[in-house]
């Protein structure tokens, strides 16, 4: 075992634990921000300022009874939450979150702050995300309940519809950055224009960024696009029949997916770990700040906008978002052809 | 390491494919087909073609199979209809079984031809096509014509699907209250 390999394994474990942690932190942030926006206090009893509330929630979930409807398909019912959670964790594997570092000379060779550096990283994220749909669809079908089935069907229709715009918004960035590797794309955004504007792709792809964030909200089934679990219509949608830890897995997957989408957006559009004032070795601080800001945006959206109607969602996806992203891609391609690649 | 992975993925691909047709429950068939596609994608990675591997997952395991699952779930067919006589051996049954047998024979012959003669014909360049740039360049230069023909074919299929799905007879118009 070389020191580099040990460091790589440690890093992988670290990312796994941090993703779990981020879900807990996001639950707390979500409840606090919701309280703030609704002029309530939010959780304040468990721990200082209620900060241990997520822990209490997890313990509560663990001690609940694991229920399964008698008419449910036992294998798929158990498999569905596992697929959801696995896909959520796996997608983060190719996301870089900092520049290469030797940990202040601790390692002889520099270590990439990324679980796996794949040269088609963007496509891998896309592939793993599309696998996550199965968790929701199967949960809906295997529960053998009308609310669950409708939630699962809605979710698959929604995710298929918005995946197109999501992919086309990414394609614009890939064209400008001339690479499919996230590390290369982030490194293409170092430096500044005119001395003060950071060379982030968001300034070249403002429409692409908006499309990406909108489609990202739909992909992660968050409000205002949370149709798979619209409580007024479907009780709780695809996870109506789930309880205890299998429900917690869906919950976890939703928050980790949010973190992944925000991390990818930070890497592709906001320059990843590049930013002023900090040395390159502390770039991950910038990355955390950007991801945190995007996650706050997510929570803010959820508690500000009411849910759309389902037909509005479909019409918006196919008749507005898709044409706009196609035009955005065409204009970007023409620009790249005329001006050349950016880096 | 690579050899173990090859046999593992190969076994999963073959086992899952066989189970696809051995299943009575169509949902399980669809899921096993996805598992088979996943194993194939692993084989592509071993062949040093990560792009093809990822595309396999996105297009087949992701997009197409979700639609399959969607349709199967909407039809809500828990078990396959068995219209034929259960007591007769599958190979001796009438109707669709014969077409299936002919298709299986044709596929076998094609496979044999591809394995025996395909490599000699030199249809595929020997160099590893790993980078996306190389794939894109050869797709839009050397293989531009087949590529365009394929896209026209898909367009025809799409138009066909729309025509078939569109019900615009007098009865439908009456249902909408126009006539």
Tell me, yes or no, if B39 comes closer than 8 A to chain A by beta carbon.
Answer: no
Chain B nearest C-alpha distance from A62 (Å): 29
Note whether A151 and A234 are within 8 A (CB): yes
**A contacts of B58 (beta carbons < 8 Å):** 123, 126-127, 130
B157 in a structural domain = yes
Q: Which member of A120, A123, A153 has the closest CB to residue B70? A: A153
**Residue B109 belongs to some domain of the structure:** no
- Chain B CB contacts of A127 below 8 Å: 54, 57-58, 61-62
**Of residues B2, B5, B26, B29, the one with CA closest to residue B16:** B29
Classified as helix, coil or strand, A152 is helix
**CA terminus-to-terminus distance, chain A:** 37
- The reply to whether residue A156 touches residue B66, judged by beta carbons under 8 angstroms, is yes
Q: DSSP letters of A171-221?
A: HHHHHHHT-S-HHHHHHTT-SEETTTEE--GGGT-HHHHHHHHHHHHHHTT
Give the residue-averaged pLDDT of A114-125: 79
Task: Identify whether B130 is part of a domain.
Answer: no
* Residue of B124, B126, B56, B133 lying closest to A119 (CA atoms): B133
| Chain A contact present for B100, CB below 8 A | no
Number of domains observed in the structure of chain B: 2
Q: What is the pLDDT of residue B179?
A: 45
Model ipTM? 0.75
Asked if residue B123 is part of any domain, the answer here is no
* More reliable by pLDDT, A208 or A197: A208
Q: Which residue has the higher pLDDT, B133 or A334?
A: A334
Higher pLDDT, A184 or A85: A85
Task: Single out the residue in B49, B80, B111 at which a domain terminates.
Answer: B80
What's the Cα-to-Cα distance from B90 to each of B19, B84, B94, B100, rounded to whole Å? Answer: 16, 9, 9, 11
What pLDDT digit, counting tens, does each position of A281-303 carry?
677 788 888 888 998 888 888 88
CATH number, domain of B66, equals 1.20.120.1200
User: Helix, strand, or coil here: A99?
Assistant: strand
Residue A182: band (very low, low, confident or very high) from pLDDT cuts 50, 70, 90 = confident
Using an 8 Å Cβ cutoff, are A255 and A247 in contact?
A: no
The pLDDT value recorded for residue B60 is: 86
CA end-to-end span of chain B, whole Å?
A: 70
Longest dimension (CA), chain B: 70
Q: Is residue B127 a part of any domain in this protein?
A: no
Q: What integer pLDDT is reported at residue A204 of this predicted model? A: 79
Residue B152 lies in a domain: yes
A339: three-class secondary structure by DSSP: helix
Does A318 contact B at CB distance below 8 Å? Answer: no
Mean pLDDT for chain A overall: 81
Instruction: Pick the more confident residue, A98 or B15.
Output: B15
Q: Show residues of chain B in contact with A124, CB under 8 Å.
A: 54
Query: What is the distance between the alpha carbons of residues A199 and A271, in angstroms, rounded to a whole number?
Result: 7
Same-domain status, B148 and B76? no
Residue A237: count of CB within 10 angstroms of its CB: 26
Residue B43 lies in a domain: yes
* Burial (0-12, 13-18, 19+ Cβ within 10 Å), B90: exposed
Give the residue carrying structure tokens 């949608």.
Answer: A237
What tokens does A74 get? 């036992």
CB under 8 Å to A153, separation ≥6 — which residues? A137, A140, B70, B73, B74
Both tokens assigned to A248: 């917690």
My answer on whether B74 and B147 are in the same domain is no
> Do B26 and B20 contact (CB within 8 A), yes or no?
no
Residue A106 has pLDDT above 80, yes or no: no
pLDDT, tens only, A18-76: 888 888 888 888 888 888 888 888 788 887 887 888 888 888 888 888 887 887 778 88
Chosen domain end from B31, B46, B80: B80
Could you tell me how many CB contacts below 8 A there are between chain A and chain B? 61
pTM to 2 decimal places: 0.79
CA distance B72 to B77: 7
Domain-embedded: residue B57: yes
Structure-token pair, residue B55: 């595309």
- Percent of chain A clearing pLDDT 90 (strictly above): 1
Show the tokens assigned to A323: 């044409």
Q: Report chain B (179 residues): mean pLDDT per 10 consecutive residues.
A: 85 89 82 89 83 85 81 66 59 68 88 76 54 80 89 92 75 54
pLDDT for the residue numbered A343: 52
CA distance A123 to B51: 8
The residues, any chain, with a CB within 8 Å of residue A124's CB and separated by 6 or more, are A93, A94, A118, B54
Domain end call among B33, B58, B80: B80
Cα R_g (chain A), whole angstroms: 21
Residue indicated by tokens 């190969």: B10
Q: H helices within chain A, ranges in order? A: 3-37, 53-62, 74-91, 121-142, 146-177, 182-187, 206-219, 231-234, 244-268, 283-304, 310-315, 322-339
Q: Which domain holds residue B151?
A: 143-179
pLDDT digits (tens, 9 = 90+) for A272-283: 777 777 777 677
Q: Cα(A156)–Cα(A143) distance, rounded to whole angstroms?
A: 16
């Amino acid at each position: 075992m070389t020191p580099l390999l040990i460091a790589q394994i440690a890093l992988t474990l670290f990312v796994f634990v941090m993703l779990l942690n981020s879900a807990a932190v996001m639950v707390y942030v979500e409840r606090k921000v919701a309280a703030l926006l609704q002029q309530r206090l939010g959780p304040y009893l468990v721990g200082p300022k209620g900060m241990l509330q997520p822990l209490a929630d997890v313990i509560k979930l663990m001690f609940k009874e694991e229920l399964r409807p008698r008419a449910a398909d036992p294998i798929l019912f158990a498999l569905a939450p596992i697929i959801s959670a696995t896909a959520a964790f796996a997608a983060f594997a190719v996301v870089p979150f900092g520049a290469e570092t030797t940990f202040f000379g601790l390692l002889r060779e520099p270590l990439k702050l990324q679980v796996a550096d794949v040269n088609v990283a963007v496509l891998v994220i896309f592939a793993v995300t599309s696998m996550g749909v199965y968790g929701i669809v199967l949960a809906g079908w295997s529960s053998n309940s009308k609310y669950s089935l409708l939630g699962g069907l809605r979710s698959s229709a929604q995710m298929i519809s918005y995946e197109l715009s999501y992919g086309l918004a990414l394609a614009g960035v890939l064209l400008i950055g001339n690479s499919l590797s996230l590390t290369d794309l982030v490194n293409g955004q170092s430096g500044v224009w005119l001395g003060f504007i950071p060379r982030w792709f968001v300034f070249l792809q403002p429409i692409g960024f908006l499309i990406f964030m909108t489609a990202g909200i739909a992909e992660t089934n968050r409000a205002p696009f949370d149709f798979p679990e619209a409580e007024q219509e479907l009780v709780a949608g695809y996870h109506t029949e789930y309880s205890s830890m299998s429900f917690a897995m869906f919950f976890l997957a939703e928050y980790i997916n949010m973190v992944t989408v925000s991390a990818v957006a930070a890497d592709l559009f906001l320059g990843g770990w590049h930013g002023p004032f900090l040395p390159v070795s502390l770039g991950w601080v910038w990355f955390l700040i950007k991801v945190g800001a995007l996650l706050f945006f997510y929570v803010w959206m959820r508690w500000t906008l009411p849910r759309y109607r389902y037909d509005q969602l479909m019409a918006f996806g196919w008749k507005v978002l898709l044409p706009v992203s196609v035009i955005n891609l065409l204009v970007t391609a023409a620009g790249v052809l005329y001006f050349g690649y950016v880096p | 390491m690579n050899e173990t992975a090859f046999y593992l993925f190969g076994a999963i691909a073959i086992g899952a494919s066989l189970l696809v047709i051995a299943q009575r429950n169509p949902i399980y068939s669809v899921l096993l087909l996805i598992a088979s596609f996943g194993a194939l994608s692993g084989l592509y990675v071993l062949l040093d073609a990560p792009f093809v591997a990822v595309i396999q997952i996105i297009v087949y395991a992701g997009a197409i199979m979700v639609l399959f699952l969607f349709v199967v779930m909407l039809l809500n067919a828990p078990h396959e209809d068995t219209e034929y006589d259960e007591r007769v051996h599958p190979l001796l049954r009438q109707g669709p079984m014969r077409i299936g047998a002919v298709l299986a024979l044709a596929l076998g012959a094609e496979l044999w031809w591809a394995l025996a003669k395909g490599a000699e014909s030199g249809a595929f360049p020997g160099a590893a096509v790993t980078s996306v740039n190389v794939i894109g360049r050869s797709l839009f230069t050397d293989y531009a014509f087949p590529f365009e023909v394929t896209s026209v074919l898909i367009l025809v299929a799409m138009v066909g699907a729309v025509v078939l799905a569109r019900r615009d007879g007098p009865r439908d118009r009456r249902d909408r209250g126009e006539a």
